[in-house]
Structure 1
Amino acid sequence: MNTDDALWPTYNDPGDLHTIEAIPLADRGLPASTYRLLAGSCEIRPDRTALIVLPEAAHWKHPARFTYADLLASVHRTANAFHGIGVRRGDAIALMSPNCAELITATLAAQLAGIAAPINAGLAGEHIRELLRRSGARVLIAAGPDLDPRAWATACALAESGVIDTLFVLRPTGAGSSAARLPTIDGVAVAYLADVAAGHDAAAFDGKLPAADAIASLFHTGGTTGAPKLAAHTHANEVANAWMLATNTLLDDDSSVFAALPLFHVNALIVTLLAPLLRGQTVVWAGPLGYRDPHLYGQFWKIVEHYRLASMSAVPTAYSVLAQCPVDADIASLRTCMVGASILPTAVRDGFESHTGVRLLEGYGLTEATCASARSFPGSPRPGSVGQRMPYQKIKAVRIADDGSWTDLPAGEIGTIAISGPTVFAGYVTGRDADGHALDGLGKLVDGWLDTGDLGYVDTDGFLYLTGRAKDLIIRGGHNIDPAVIEDALLSHPLVTGVGAVGRPDPHSGEVPVAYVTVTPSSDVTEEDLLAWATERVPEAAAAPKSVAVIDVLPVTDVGKPYKLALRADAARRVAEQALDGVPGVGGVVAVVEDGSVVIAVSVTGRCDVTDVKTALDRYPLAWRLEEEQP
């Protein structure tokens, strides 16, 4: 077997999995680090275009272009700039910016010189501070005032508070020579990253190259409530997962990949940066707003035709919008449309595929398993499945007893999904000392297996079927209800585009199921119609929803994952408002999320009798507090 055959085996359909695994992963010749991944592709094809970065969707015809040689040289200069200020292998560099050409280079360079620690600028200020503390990052790379004013204001506040020593500033893709004057902040070095990097060597990295087991990045998970956790990925984790994705015979070396998800999310780094760079492909990056840019959708099919895009990755909401956009260009080049992060509604799948003629391929993954663990195949559909396990990863369903012990379940039986293999993360960062970052699985790792927290089953061919989240179970009078049975019933309605089922506090059963749905534009379906539809189709009476609410959009996190805590908060608010209706002195009811729990805040005036509020709310399993209404 030659080197190229070892690195790129045939991977067309599910039957190829066991043939691939007949050769140990160690014999595949994978690069030792994300740096060697890029350098290796540059050695083979230095003049091929690596990156095409759009300044913004409205100016998609005027991108910045970088060959593999350009990109590697820029990574060398930037990494040497980090090395020059004292960054070493175990030091984290925080990155807080929307996507731009400089952020891509800085992320790769941070993994070469030290550890990349991407941060979502939309997080609460105290959460960003906590992430900086846990990572130990004293260097922050942030969007400047002309790229993202909000992120820039946050970065300046962090610098002024003394939590960082160095603030490197990024500019928009294609920005001119004129730049805003940067402030002077006591005790903090502030400079444009491009200016600092320009004076450094582009030919090689001055420091020690990272080993396969070195930490490459720290990605925060969650972030919607409470302080997010920091998951540590090694270079071996990221390279292995990138290879699993790049080993896709549907795409060849000449394919172009579209990227529009934010680089603080693992999908953007692994699926739309490292995987195509490993294969020597071209990545076309959307502007800083990505899929949130309203101008993108009106131009999207023209962008596909112009750049001959072969592959893209997005969340269901993006495909739902694209299904409404007239196809006004030749999109024959588009072969692989990957979707993940949340359940794909049948209406979205059918709408997109009938509109474009391109199949949506579901996948499955999580940050703690680097990124992707299952993939689908256009020629071998498995309805209801999110895909077959990827090579060298193992997936099983287990029953977890009250004492924490695991029992493996046979194929087809529902349990908690567990994953093992080369992509399972090194652990969460729990601290840092002179020896580096302290890592702990925090109960998620058991004998090399990762407890995903997802419910589902695996068939005999290694295909995974998800049925819900363990933490999302609705417990009605001690009876466990999987919200998926309600969601599936409502998703079968032709006018429903999305569903979220949650538990609503109930004085008799603890909680009862309710559902929130989105429907097709201009639909006249009523909540009563949908409630009747669900009641007829939910397999057991106890799981039938007590109510169905039609809303404009289902709440999601910044990377498109369903945010059911917001739905549970709304359900609790509705219950509290109804219970307090007519109670004198009650001004308003608000549901707030604190540390992952819902708390009802009741604003009251001086004439309110606390006993009345207590009598009304204590019948429900609710946490609540009184707040004096301001005059």
Structure 2
Amino acid sequence: MTVDTEDTVLWPATLDHPGDLADVETVPLGDRGLPETTYEALSRAGSLWPDQTAITVLPDAERWQSPTRRTYRELLVSVHRYANALHGLGVRRSDVVAIMSPNCDELITATLAAELAGIAMPVNGSLAGNHIRHLLEQSGAHVLIAADSTLDPAGWEQVRALALAGVLDTVLLVAPTGETTDAAAALEGAAVLSFAALAAEADGDRFVGDLPAADNVAALFHTGGTTGAPKLAAHTHRNEIVDAWSISAASELGGDSTIFAALPLFHVNALVVTLLAPTLRGQHAVWAGPLGYRDLPLYGCFWKVVSHYGITTMSAVPTVYAVLANVPVDADISSLRMAVVGASMLPPAVRRAFEEHTGITLLEGYGLTEATCASARSFLDHPRPGSVGQRLPYQRIKAVRIDEDGTWTDMPTGDAGVLAISGPTVFPGYVVGRDADGGLILDGLGKLVDGWLDTGDLGAVDADGFVYLTGRAKDLIIRGGHNIDPAQVEDSLLSHPAVTGAAAVGMPDVHAGEVPVAYVTLSAPTPEAGLVAWAKEHVAESAAAPKSVQVVDMLPVTAVGKPYKLPLRADAARRAVTAALAEHDGGTGIVEVTADAEDGSVTVTVVAEPGTDETALAQILDAFALTWRVTTR
């Protein structure tokens, strides 16, 4: 592989020990010589490693040995063509291009091209139709890159509805990996074109429009908000490049590493961790098929894929590792040196099972969309038990107390509070509209204070910059790494004529990390089963349908009358643990299960008869991502 002569400036000599962070930051970030934009990063890779394989894309799990491959030179040429095709359609720097498709070879090009020609807006096609329409209307996007009906039949129906609603002007179709699409599909209300056919006629040597700048918005990612409708968080090119660089700099893996990518490209992790970060190092990324980790046949051949492609690192959510811990290792997986886990809390039992089964260490990380992606990482050879990792270079993380009047007070080192982040990866704000010139209007909506981002997470930071999560101040429910805004659960129940109040929280779950459950107050007696069915019918997305609905006399509130969900989270945890223990010898030996909520966190206490097998109890409790203790009567 060609050696980058700027490596000694761009990359730290080492960042594989917690003590290296201070040395890294003696060099100002501005002196590192990072690429200014995602396009500049790709252009650099095309110059330094033109013949190095950039991406390998599997059509699906069953055809894992028949991928498509592209070098960095070929990827750069493709991005030029696709960006020029968008430019020819009138897309300019402040124009948003919506993207809604399962992962495929063409989608990678399309996403990078949208960031070059304008602003990319990846959309989760499983969102409710009215929410997808809201995103397009709020962003002003009139061009949609979408999967054809072969790649995503359900998504095509969403596209048809958007066109009929008059939201779209043009739909650019992408095809399954290794195939071509038929652009003859009729669509009332919008023009339909094959993106590949349009791009084939465009210049592949350079981009004909104005190049983006570091402070230009590169992408919009939707995230859960305080209302049922998703919010659009803006990322600048600098945000994405610095975060990708931080991840690459903090990786003990070299330039010859091969990364496995299986998260959807509407997820920031897929873009930053498995596309942009490898590009900065000239690394090879192997992309799973359109369903990614949701493709059940993938698990049957997963270890063979690792062996065949020499996968060195992967990134996934806890539920993926829980499944892999039970998949027989039927191949040589010695190449796999790093497995990163994030998006939701890691149950101790999942860590133990995966590491004992594979011999591979799970490394936790921490981040959120509003800070681009990653803000903390762990170390292979220097574990810090209980921590989700040390802050990444040039980012700052602290714990604060936020009073009722909005005043922030820094907490002493090691004391818990609301986590706040500052630095070059903090987003510029949410999209709240467009100005008279067509530019995006951004607003922090109370999350940005003097350059610091209120993460909504509760935790502590030690003297070495390691972060310890203790809970969530925000009410986000994370089901298998998928963020669910509780407001959409609550809105679905409040539309029921008998429901007078609703509050949704996450219940610990051994398979999904947590699942949504709801508590309601009623004006008339209504069966709980009927409320569950009602919510399932009216909720914005199927993943948000509550597993149960409990009727209560009153929903808890704070002293000033604000909703207070911590007692409900405690009750949900108690119910989950009680049910799990009941399945173990019928709950024999268990006297009582209680859950206490203090300082934003929940602790479950199990009271057992003397002589009860506490080891067996610990195995059951360790399967949940929660704090617990066992005492005897």
Report what 1:141 is aligned to. 145
Report what 2:255 is aligned to. 253
Q: 1:205 pairs with 195, 198, 207, which one?
A: 207
Listed one character per residue, the Cα deviations across residues 362-420 of structure 1 (whole Å, up to 9, x for unaligned) are: 00000000000000001111111100000000000000011000000011111000000
Q: Quick one: which amino acid aligns to residue 272 of structure 2? A: I
Pairs within 5 Å for 1:190-589: 190-222=192-224, 226-433=228-435, 434-472=437-475, 498=513, 507=553, 510=556, 511=567, 513-514=570-571, 515=573, 517=576, 524-525=583-584, 528=587, 535=594, 544=604
Q: Normalised by the size of structure 1, how large is the TM-score?
A: 0.79
Q: Normalised by the size of structure 2, how large is the TM-score?
A: 0.79
Indicate yes or no: 2:159 matched with 1:155: yes
**Offset at residue 534 of structure 1 (A):** 5.0
Alignment CA distance shift 1:396-1:529 (3 Å) = farther
Alignment CA distance shift 1:218-1:388 (3 Å) = same
Report what 2:23 is aligned to. 19
**Offset at residue 520 of structure 1 (A):** 13
Report what 2:93 is aligned to. 89
Report what 1:116 is aligned to. 120
Listed one character per residue, the Cα deviations across residues 288-315 of structure 1 (whole Å, up to 9, x for unaligned) are: 0000000100100000000000010000
Instruction: State the percentage of identical aligned residues.
Output: 59
Q: Quick one: which amino acid aligns to residue 414 of structure 2? A: G
Q: Check conservation: 1:497, 1:519, Cα contact below 8 A.
A: no
* Residues in 1 aligned to 2:363 and 2:174: alpha-carbon distance in whole angstroms: 35
Q: Check conservation: 2:394, 2:423, Cα contact below 8 A.
A: yes
Give the gaps of 5 or more residues in structure 2: 478-504, 520-550, 557-566, 608-624, 626-633
SS across alignment from 2:46: helix
Alignment CA distance shift 1:277-1:527 (3 Å) = farther
SS across alignment from 1:309: coil
SS across alignment from 1:439: strand
* Residues in 2 aligned to 1:352 and 1:101: alpha-carbon distance in whole angstroms: 30
* Residues in 1 aligned to 2:83 and 2:415: alpha-carbon distance in whole angstroms: 49
Report what 2:538 is aligned to. none
Q: Quick one: which amino acid aligns to residue 397 of structure 2? A: I
Listed one character per residue, the Cα deviations across residues 295-340 of structure 1 (whole Å, up to 9, x for unaligned) are: 1001000000000000100000000000000001111110110000
**Offset at residue 195 of structure 1 (A):** 0.7
SS across alignment from 1:306: helix
Q: Check conservation: 1:250, 1:335, Cα contact below 8 A.
A: no
Q: Check conservation: 2:370, 2:426, Cα contact below 8 A.
A: yes
Alignment CA distance shift 1:526-1:158 (3 Å) = farther
**Offset at residue 544 of structure 1 (A):** 4.9
**Offset at residue 181 of structure 1 (A):** 5.5
Q: Check conservation: 1:348, 1:497, Cα contact below 8 A.
A: no
Report what 1:627 is aligned to. none
**Offset at residue 189 of structure 1 (A):** 1.8
Alignment CA distance shift 1:441-1:530 (3 Å) = farther
- The number of residue pairs the alignment matches comes to 531
Alignment CA distance shift 1:531-1:53 (3 Å) = farther
**Offset at residue 180 of structure 1 (A):** 3.9
Larger deviation, residues 8-17 vs 516-525: 516-525
Q: Check conservation: 1:165, 1:189, Cα contact below 8 A.
A: yes
Larger deviation, residues 29-38 vs 152-161: 152-161
Q: Check conservation: 2:596, 2:602, Cα contact below 8 A.
A: no
**Offset at residue 84 of structure 1 (A):** 0.5
Aligned-residue Cα RMSD (Å) equals 3.1
Listed one character per residue, the Cα deviations across residues 465-514 of structure 1 (whole Å, up to 9, x for unaligned) are: 0011113499xxxxxxxx99x97xxx9xxx99956798967548835532
Q: Check conservation: 1:96, 1:143, Cα contact below 8 A.
A: yes
* Residues in 2 aligned to 1:4 and 1:239: alpha-carbon distance in whole angstroms: 16
Q: Check conservation: 2:250, 2:392, Cα contact below 8 A.
A: no
Q: Quick one: which amino acid aligns to residue 437 of structure 1? A: L
* Residues in 1 aligned to 2:51 and 2:298: alpha-carbon distance in whole angstroms: 29
